[in-house]
Amino acid sequence: MRIATWNVNSVNARLPTVLAWLEAAQPDVACLQEIKCVDEKFPREPFESLGYNVETHGQKSYNGVAILSKHPLSDVRRGLPGADESRYEADAEQSRYIEAVIEAPRPVRVGCIYLPNGNPLGTGKFAYKLAWFERLQAHARDLLALEEPFTLCGDYNVIPTPDDAKNPAAWTGDALFQPESRAAFQALRHLGLSDAGDLGGQPPGTFTFWDYQAGAWQRDHGIRIDFHLLSPQAADRFRAVETHRDARDMDKPSDHVPVVVELED
């Protein structure tokens, strides 16, 4: 089973590009972030014509996540648990998490994540990022207790190590590279989750995001912020991981590229 994660940076604005990549890469599952539309405006028909079942958790103009699957989807959850108890108004407004079980012959649960950016530092946005991370950690513990294969994949908006940036010094004042952000990501991994990039031996410089500004793509000033974190049961089925760098050079590209993990059927 091939499971992709991709921050598409507006599904309607980049629909031909997204469809072209899906037709070429043929993932069984695609987890999309920053779809930037409400559920009713999501272009379901073109994806369904490619054989995908579609579940969305959209939001007008911002954020939004979706799962596409060539297998049936069950146990769909929209929103990260804990929103009802959250003191942050953003939790009631922002669509950042969707989860479902992929009903393949050997089922896999997928959680599709668009973690808060957290900028600028010194504001409530950074505190919200860390609080969201805490809720994600709590949910990951609950999922691990089920002892089933799953991936928590998506745009984590974290640069975990200096090796995950071409120019780490350029990010020292950014929420993505703060010690607190990096520690929260490592705490999530230390629950028992495996980074597919590490399992696949991807080398330093395997970036997933290049800004549109200042010629970042042409100069390869990238960062790695898109991940598959696998449960032990999913890691046991791990076969390969691919970062589709060429997608950044497509017509009207996203600033992110897809990351595809392959698990044994």
Q: Is 15 helix (H, G, I), strand (E, B) or coil?
A: helix
Write down the domain spans for the chain. Answer: 2-263
The answer to whether the annotation marks 163 as part of a ligand binding site is: no
Q: Is the pLDDT assigned to residue 16 strictly greater than 80?
A: yes
Q: Are 79 and 95 in contact (CB under 8 A)?
A: yes
The enclosing H or E element of 140 equals: helix 124-145
Over residues 109-116, mean pLDDT: 98
Q: Residues near 47 by Cβ (< 8 Å), separated by ≥ 6?
A: 19, 22, 54, 68
CB 210 within 8 A of CB 217: yes
Check the annotation: does 255 bind a ligand: yes
User: Is 157 annotated among the ligand-binding residues?
Assistant: yes
Q: What is the pLDDT of residues 139-187, one digit of tens each?
A: 999 999 999 999 999 999 999 999 999 999 999 999 999 999 999 999 9
Residue 91 phi, psi (nearest 5): -65, -25
Asked whether residue 7 is marked as a ligand-binding residue, the answer is yes
Residue 76 has pLDDT above 90, yes or no: yes
Average pLDDT, the chain: 97
Query: Would you please indicate which residues are annotated as catalytic (active-site) residues?
Result: 114, 155, 256
> In this predicted model, what pLDDT tens digit does every residue of 207-250 receive, in sequence order?
999 999 989 999 999 999 999 999 999 999 999 999 999 999 99
Pick the CATH number of 2-263 from 3.10.560.10, 3.90.1150.10, 3.30.390.30, 3.60.10.10: 3.60.10.10
106 CB neighbour count, 10 Å cutoff: 11
